[in-house]
């Protein structure tokens, strides 16, 4: 089977542009709906505050007020020191920074951590021609 690379690139770019447009429109619509949902959530929180309750039931469903807490740091070097000093690596999420691991393995090809999986595959990058 023979393929025409020029036609394939043209089709690919048109499809990518269409996908981008659809995703942008969907994101805009989702953002509008999220804004409306945030407003309704604030109203439900006001009901909880006014009634002194942590939720309620309606004929269409129920709502519950809860406290959501997030922890962040503004000083990563001190956070790393704290984690080491208290032997609490579980305070970090378990994922590998892809770019840093790639660079580390390039610089240290003989140091492969036990249990690491490396998955590589070919990929094609399509760029629009310069005008």
Number of domains in the chain: 1
- C-alpha closest to that of 127 among 22, 19, 24, 16: 16
125 belongs to a structural domain: no
Tell me the per-residue pLDDT of 60-117, one tens digit each, with 9 for 90 and over: 999 999 999 999 999 999 999 999 999 999 999 989 999 999 999 999 999 998 999 9
For residue 28, the surrounding DSSP H or E stretch is: helix 5-51
119 belongs to a structural domain: no
41 belongs to a structural domain: yes
For residue 64, the surrounding DSSP H or E stretch is: strand 62-64
Does residue 18 carry a pLDDT above 90?
yes
Q: How much is the average pLDDT of 14-43?
A: 97
Range of the domain at 18: 5-62+71-107
43 belongs to a structural domain: yes
Does residue 24 carry a pLDDT above 90?
yes
114 belongs to a structural domain: no
The structure's pTM equals: 0.68
């Amino acid at each position: 089977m023979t393929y025409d690379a020029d036609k394939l690139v043209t089709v690919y770019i048109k499809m990518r542009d269409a996908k981008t447009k659809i995703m942008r429109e969907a994101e805009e619509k989702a953002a509008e709906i999220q804004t409306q949902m945030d407003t309704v959530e604030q109203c439900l929180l006001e009901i909880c505050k006014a009634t002194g309750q942590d939720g309620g039931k309606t004929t269409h469903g129920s709502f519950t007020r809860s406290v959501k807490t997030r922890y962040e740091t503004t000083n990563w070097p001190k956070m790393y020191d704290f984690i080491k000093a208290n032997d609490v690596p579980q305070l970090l999420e378990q994922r590998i920074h892809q770019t840093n691991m790639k660079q580390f393995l390039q610089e240290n090809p003989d140091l492969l951590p036990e249990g690491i999986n490396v998955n590589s595959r070919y990929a094609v990058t399509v760029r629009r021609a310069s005008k």
